[in-house]
Structures are given as structure tokens and as C-alpha cells.
Amino acid sequence: MSQKDIPVLKPDTPVILEMNRISKTFGAVTALVDVSIKLHQGEVLALVGDNGAGKSTLIKILSGFHHPDSGTIVYQGKEVHFRSPRDARAQGIETVYQDLALINDLSIYHNMFIGREYHKRVLGLKLLDNRKMRDLAQTYLNSLGIQIPSVNSTVDLLSGGQRQSVAVARSIYSSPTVLVLDEPLAALGVREGAHVLGLIQNLRRQRSVSIILIVHNYNQVFEVCDRINFLHSGEIALDASTSDTSEEQLIRIVKSGLGRQAIAAAAAEVEASTGSTSTNRL
């Protein structure tokens, strides 16, 4: 995949979204401690970290699914409180969850439009406009090059890759302002993964949507991301730009990390050896 045609983000690009000092506990389990992240207009931010580091919790707070114990979210310059996923979606924040949130008993086109259905009036009754949704879904999925048997079939008939593609297509259909993808490549084979990655790269090229991407494969991080936040034990341990950090360095930092100090030391070492401007928050 070519990086050459990707426009570079200017240093003065405005911040579209800020999560400030977010903390969250579930009973006895502390998931997040004072986590802050910043997302710039048109930027692709990778959120990396081990299993259980709090990545999914953080994005579920952003999507309105969970509510933070403390901390604030500033979105498009205003402080917001999302009471539900419906709230966040209505304000242009779309999320593709790890479980994809597809409804097995419904058709592909109903899944595409659930929560924002099209209606028509029949004898004064507000009924679903199934034909319109079917046609729009078919056209849209075709335009993205997503191959599915028929938009009429229920999603439980789809392969893992097709399901993932439908979930991603649903999230970008409404041209969101912020798109959150929780491990969009997890269940995919090489070819299918490349396709979804291509979709993300296309969005990045246009710089019209800001993306938070949770990934495990650092190869992919460097292909499509502008910046990396490394979340460790509920805290942001590293915030670095992909142009300043190499994949090898990142892997060294992540591998070192079973303790704060180890991460800090590794990060400092990387910083010293490159003289880069990557900021270490610890």
C-alpha cells in the first residue's frame, strides 16, 4: 500500500476530540486511571496495548455505552455527555465494536440501517421503507467492493470477513465525524484484512473523518496510522507519532512493558537514540 499519496497532517491541525483524565472502575476492577487522549481533525490514531489494558472500556465510554466515573469529553470544542450509544451516533461518532453488534436474525440491509431506518407513510402509518433500505444497502456495499450473496440474507449466513465488512460499511455510511474501530482486523484473513485496511486508508487519504483504531498488529499500525497511544494497565504509557517512531522501536517498548518503569526506561532509550520528539507521559 502506498503511503505517498497520503497528505501529511499539518502541525496546527485542530483537535476534534479530547478525552480528559477519564477514570472508570467496575466494582473492584479498576479499568482506567486518568486516561487522556487527543484526536486531531482527519487523524488516524492507533490505540495499542495488551489485553485488559482498558482500550475497549475507553472507546465504550466514548461511544456512550459506558459512563465514566470521572473525567470529561470535549468534542468539536464543547464538553459532551453521551447518555447512550444513540446519543453518540446522533452526534457523528460511529463505533465498530469488537463483537460487531450485528443482529443475526435480521437481514443485511436491516442491520445496515438499524437505528436510522427509512420510513414511508402508508395510509398515515409510519412503516419501514424496506425497498429503499435494500437498494441503498446493495448500492453502497457494491461501491465499497464488499462482496455478499444478497442484502436480503440474514447476517448469520455471512463469513467472518463479510460480517466485519458489513459492520465497517454500516459505520462509515453516515459519513461520521469520528470513527472508532475496535480491532477491525481481528477475525480476518490476509486478503479480507487488506480490504478493510484499504477502506481505512481511503478514509485517511480524504482526511474528512478522524479515526481511533484499536489494533494488535503493529505492522498495520504503521501502514494506516498517524499517531500511536500505548495504553498499559489503564494508563497511557506512550504517545508517539508514527513518523518519529519506527515499528521496531515500538515493539521494543511494548515488549518491555510489564511495569511502568520498564516502559518509561525503554521509551527514554528510544527517545535518546533517535532524538525524536515523541512524548512520554510518565
Partner 1 sequence: MPRRVGIALPDTAFERALVILSRYREASIAVVALVLAIYFQVGSNGAFLSSQELSVVLRDTGRFGLIAVAEVMLMITGEIDLSVGSTFSLAPYVMVLMSIGWGVPLALSAVAGILLGVLIGLVNGIITVRFRVPSLITTVGTFFLLQGVVVSIYNSQPIVAPVQEPFNEIFGENLYSPTDSLWSWHGLTAFTPFLWTLLVVLAMALVLNRTTFGLHTIATGSNIVGAREIGVRTDRIKVYNFMIAGAFAAAAGVINTTQFASADPLAGGPFLTLQAIAAAVIGGTSLLGGSGTAIGSLLGAFVVATLNNGLVMMGAQATVSDIYLGTAIVLAMILNVQVDRMRARRRV
Residues that bind partner 1 (CB under 8 A): 63, 65, 84-86, 89, 95, 97, 99-106, 110, 114-115, 117, 119, 125-128, 130, 156-157
**What minimum distance in Å lies between the beta carbon of 127 and partner 1?**
5
Closest to partner 1 by CB, 104 vs 243, is 104
Contacts 24+ apart (CB under 8 A), 114-123: 115/86, 115/89, 116/89, 116/174
Grid cell locating 31 = 479499568
Give the helix, strand, coil percentages of the chain, each rounded to 5: 35, 25, 40
**What minimum distance in Å lies between the beta carbon of 213 and partner 1?**
18
Closest to partner 1 by CB, 84 vs 274, is 84
Closest to partner 1 by CB, 91 vs 256, is 91
* Residue 97, SS3 per DSSP: coil
**What minimum distance in Å lies between the beta carbon of 156 and partner 1?**
6
Closest to partner 1 by CB, 148 vs 254, is 148
**What minimum distance in Å lies between the beta carbon of 85 and partner 1?**
4
170 residue type, one letter: R
Tell me if 65 sits within 8 A of 232, measured CB to CB. Answer: no
Grid cell locating 264 = 518509561
Closest to partner 1 by CB, 29 vs 128, is 128
Neighbours of 273 (CB within 10 A): 9
Tell me if 240 sits within 8 A of 250, measured CB to CB. Answer: yes
Closest to partner 1 by CB, 116 vs 260, is 116
**What minimum distance in Å lies between the beta carbon of 8 and partner 1?**
34
**What minimum distance in Å lies between the beta carbon of 32 and partner 1?**
19
CA distance 113 to 87: 16
